[in-house]
Amino acid sequence: METTQQSDAVVTLTESAAEEVRSKLASDPQGAAKGLRIYVEKGGCSGLQYGMVFDEKRADDLAQSCLGVAVLVDPFSADFVRGSVVDFSDALNGGGFKITNPQAARSCGCGRSFETGG
């Protein structure tokens, strides 16, 4: 799998996010062949929403390794998430994965939906 330098990364994972992804992939019998796909699709209360799924690399993906985790982003989504940081919290309230996106002009309270400034 092609990798990029951390400074060239489309998306960065925090250590806690990478640890959670590695744990989930380790419990999946076919996890070794998969990476974390981060994507954007139309929807949500602000117009666009994030998605994350374990998936195999596709031909046009931008692939990188971040803290030992393969991160996959399709070219369409890369334009919207470039520079984002994915974090994970196991807190009882507000826990789970959270994406901090410097390109989002406005984000919804749900944390999964955002609007760009252009």
* Sequence spans of domains, the chain: 6-110
Whole-structure pTM value: 0.80
CA distance readout (Å), 117 to 7, 26, 43, 76, 99: 24, 38, 16, 17, 17
User: For residue range 33-89, what is the model confidence (pLDDT) as tens digits?
Assistant: 899 999 998 876 667 888 999 999 999 999 999 999 999 999 999 999 999 999 998
Q: Which amino acid is at 27?
A: S
45, 108 contact by CB (below 8 A): yes
Nearest alpha-carbon partner for 52 in 20, 26, 79, 30: 20
Q: CATH assignment of 6-110, given 1.10.800.10, 2.60.40.1080, 2.60.300.12, 3.40.50.2300?
A: 2.60.300.12
Segment holding 51, helix H or strand E: strand 48-55
Nearest alpha-carbon partner for 75 in 107, 32, 28, 37: 37
